[in-house]
Structure 1
């Protein structure tokens, strides 16, 4: 993945040249980000600068769809308000969006599981509407789990293999009946770094670059990725449309995403480029919660 860094002076210059009416606002960098580096711009805005090859397409995806989808969602989300055009100073498009206050959940996890489960269930019910034919499709998001088996195996290798329980969860997920409904809108990247927390519960959802259409079970993996142990059932019951097959598929997605977080966290522990030290604990916690859910008597198996 080709990355490069952008400094404060460049961002200030670009804002001044292309959006002069905003140039007087305070600019300060924000830690985090994967495909994009981010700066606060005043109290209500953020500048997102792409630093990977795929980042411009993700920003275009957000700019196309979030003004339409954002207003119907019950949690705060970033909505693009300005576009920065490629120039001699910076050869890629960039955006200015609304700022969503809160702390990323990979640094400040959700502690009030009940309220968070209720908020997330409502968010997903309202997001998961039938998507139009022109909605984006992602090869590793929202698809049947059998289509990502090679990705699963490479992820398992990256974390040193899986125990028998997690393998059983995955096998049950792959064997579950596939989604038969129409493709619905998905965030598709609901992991702890892409939500923010305040007062122990969800305060917003960010980073919609991977927004796409597909199987809602992809997003329901958030029951184990985002919520503390024991809150998964409250989310699944509150969502109301989660049958046994969907829950099995959702657990499978949670195993896959948990492994990805763990692998990226290990890279950060070793000081490797692209590693995120806060993601490792989030990945381990996800896998622990999946195991506990799978073991619990009375849950669909």
Structure 2
């Protein structure tokens, strides 16, 4: 039987912390400004955060992060979340949850970044370092991370249906050409570590520079192409070129990355085209950027 929707609020977090970690029961708990979608995040005192999966499909990520983030953190050039404690189901909340050290920074946005080209290079260097970590025993693509790092063919039907649904809204021939080129650019490399959700919301900026990379819930070992979609969702022009030069990928991986960016933008546009002009506009921009990049390459 499916679990009913859980109301994740300050009161629930207070109960969980008090019952399971009484040493922190007196610390104030406040929701963060952007609490996330896959997880809800709360400030615990001055120096910690509480993170709870918002649905069952995200719950397997908790134990994965507790196992692997402490191993990855010392090998990376930027801070990442390292869990301090793992909570268990209780007080009506049905999944494991986490307490982390608080990491300072604001979500990446163009207006917060002092030099977008340097930001792109710093991110590429982080991803390169992540890919160099020994992948032995790491989690392969699967339901735990929505098959990030796996084959794009998993999302072929979704993508083609989205294209059909947007027949009068986009250049369907051009979009299909990009998608089919991505499918043909098959991954033949050895599995490497990837983050799985390199988005502006998961990149923190401090004093104008990339300072922290968060949310490794979609991480795993496999094809790193999914980590490059930031090239079209945030970067552009010179910064995109600097990113591509600094990140260790070949043309085929870049083609698959276009496919990942295109798939997400298409399903987002279908979801929001009639209800959320802002999100629909962002999705259209990504589609346009991907198409222009593909045209430049062929």
TM over 0.5: yes
Q: What is the alpha-carbon distance in structure 1 between the residues aligned to residue 260 and residue 110 of structure 2?
A: 22
Q: Deviations over 1:201-232 (max 9, x none)?
A: 43322211111111111212222223244421
Match among 133, 140, 143 for residue 136 of structure 1:
140
Mapped pair 1:118 → 2:121: yes
Whole-angstrom CA distance in 2 between matches of 1:166 and 1:62: 35
Q: Does 1:235 align with 2:235?
A: no
Aligned twin of 2:71: 68
- Does the CA contact (< 8 Å) of 2:86 and 2:99 recur in 1? yes
Select between 147-156 and 211-220 the one with higher mean Cα deviation: 147-156
Across the aligned residues of Structure 1 and Structure 2, the Cα RMSD in angstroms comes to 2.7
The 8 Å contact of residues 191 and 221 in structure 2, kept in 1 or not, is answered as: yes
Unaligned runs of 5+ in 1: 270-276
> What residue number does 1:248 align with?
255
Q: State whether residues 264 and 279 of structure 1, in contact with CA within 8 Å, keep that contact through their aligned partners in structure 2.
A: no
Do the aligned residues in 1 keep the contact of 2:155 with 2:263 (CA within 8 Å)? no
Is 1:208 aligned with 2:216?
Answer: yes
- The 1:107/1:155 distance shift into structure 2, 3 A limit, reads farther
Q: 1:128-154 CA distances to partner (integer Å, 9 max, x unpaired)? A: 135224523226321232342113224
The CA deviation string for residues 36-60 of structure 1, in whole angstroms up to 9 with x for no partner, is 1110112321101222111221112
Please give the alpha-carbon distance, in whole angstroms, between the structure 1 residues aligned to 2:112 and 2:164. Answer: 27
CA distance in 2, matches of 1:52, 1:157: 30
TM-score computed with the length of structure 2 as normaliser? 0.85
Relative to structure 1, is the Cα distance of residues 73 and 106 closer, same or farther in structure 2, using a 3 angstrom cutoff? same
- Cα distance in 1 for residues equivalent to 2:111 and 2:67: 30
Asked if 1:218 is matched to 2:226, the reply is yes
What is the distance in 2 between the residues matched to 1:111 and 1:291?
A: 27
CA distance 1:52–1:39, shift in 2 (3 Å): same
Equivalent residue, structure 2, for 1:51: 54
Change (3 A) 1:266 1:93: farther
Offset of residue 162 of structure 1? 4.0
Cα distance in 1, alignment partners of residues 24 and 224 from structure 2? 39
Paired residues in the alignment total: 289
